[in-house]
Amino acid sequence: MYAKLIVALSFVAVAFAGNVKFEDCGHHEVVKLNISQCADGVATCVLHKGKPLALDAEMISNQDTAKISVHLSAKVEGLEIPIPGVDRDGCKYVKCPVKKGEHLHLNYALTVPKLLPNLHNVEIGAKISGDHGLLACLRLHGDLSN
């Protein structure tokens, strides 16, 4: 189960290859999501163990905020679980402070661990919060393969 959570982190920590289909679970602050290893317009990304991943999310801030916090979760076999070990300090990936209406580019990268199991159709959730609540929210689906 813990390995599945690490996989979930890998899905969110990805960028720069394709405009990925995602569900906006906020108020349409997320404009675009690009993920390395994902082709343009795919509904499910297939990520490969041992390969680097990068995420580039474009969004519009809905508030003035001095800090940004990143919260990741994975829905594995119907259970939504917070992903441990995530760097929650969003100001490392977006220049803070942020003004309402400002266009933001969140960039995050890592390598998918080789020791993880192969998984199919994992739902990943990302919530980005500011001083006054939710800045952005998105969900996407992915597979993990050798």
**CA 17 remoteness from chain centre:** 14
Tokens encoding 108: 């995050």
Q: Count Cα atoms within 13 angstroms, Cβ side, for 69.
A: 7
Residue-number span of the structural domain to which 64 is assigned: 2-145
Distance of CA 103 to the CA centre of its chain: 17
Q: Which helix (H) or strand (E) holds 8?
A: helix 2-12
Residue with tokens 């890592």: 110
pTM for the predicted model, two decimal places: 0.74
Encoded amino acid at 2, one letter: Y
Q: Within 13 Å and on the Cβ side, how many CA atoms surround 84?
A: 4
Q: Residue 112's pLDDT is what?
A: 65
List per-residue pLDDT tens for the chain, 146 residues long: 444 444 444 444 333 345 778 889 999 999 998 888 777 777 787 878 788 878 888 999 999 999 999 887 777 788 887 765 678 899 999 999 999 999 999 887 766 667 667 778 888 788 999 999 999 998 888 887 88
Containing H/E element for 11?
helix 2-12
Say how many domains are in the chain.
1
Domain with 90 in it: what CATH number? Answer: 2.60.40.770
The amino acid sitting at 139 is R
- What pLDDT shows up at residue 35? 82
- Which residue is it, tokens 């990268």? 109
